[in-house]
Chains A and B, each alone.
Chain A
Amino acid sequence: NAGVTQTPKFQVLKTGQSMTLQCAQDMNHNSMYWYRQDPGMGLRLIYYSASEGTTDKGEVPNGYNVSRLNKREFSLRLESAAPSQTSVYFCASIGLEGLPKNIQYFGAGTRLSVL
């Protein structure tokens, strides 16, 4: 059981380039999340998807787009990367069924540097 899988693990981009961060979970969870983690600013929610077919903005959505491709996959896209988007990105999912409920599971993260 892999849990939450993120790809790639590392990425270096030049300013203006685009890329998509992939996330997949195999726990049949309805809700999925994208966070960024920056020193001194903690984890901040970028976008989330409460269920397949729905997405909503979090605290810091500007410069990002998301797609909930199906129940398993939730991708994060940077259309035109900026140095301010240098960060560690985490994907997470929550299961509302079964026990224990409402525990967030995290992927290992993607370290992104924008030069």
Chain B
Amino acid sequence: QKEVEQDPGPLSVPEGAIVSLNCTYSNSAFQYFMWYRQYSRKGPELLMYTYSSGNKEDGRFTAQVDKSSKYISLFIRDSQPSDSATYLCAMETGNTGKLIFGQGTTLQVKP
């Protein structure tokens, strides 16, 4: 069993839709939770970073962490074609520098 599970998709939605991306994990020691966006043939770009449980909002993006359920989510409001990319969740216990990534979910937003 992988430490971090993420549905690879692909997920296809119409422009303007609300997108929900999710990851589950098994290691209760994870404290730091991140979402990265990766365009084709590019490196991952940090979108959201959350410490412990709770919500964090940044523009059209909202990250949620539920440590009791070992479940994290990323919501994208008013999705745009430019949001089409692979979204990677990543986690860390802290002080290790070792990020554990999910497989990534490929998102396509159609005009």
Chain A bound to chain B = no
Q: Give the A-binding residues of B (Cβ under 8 A).
A: none
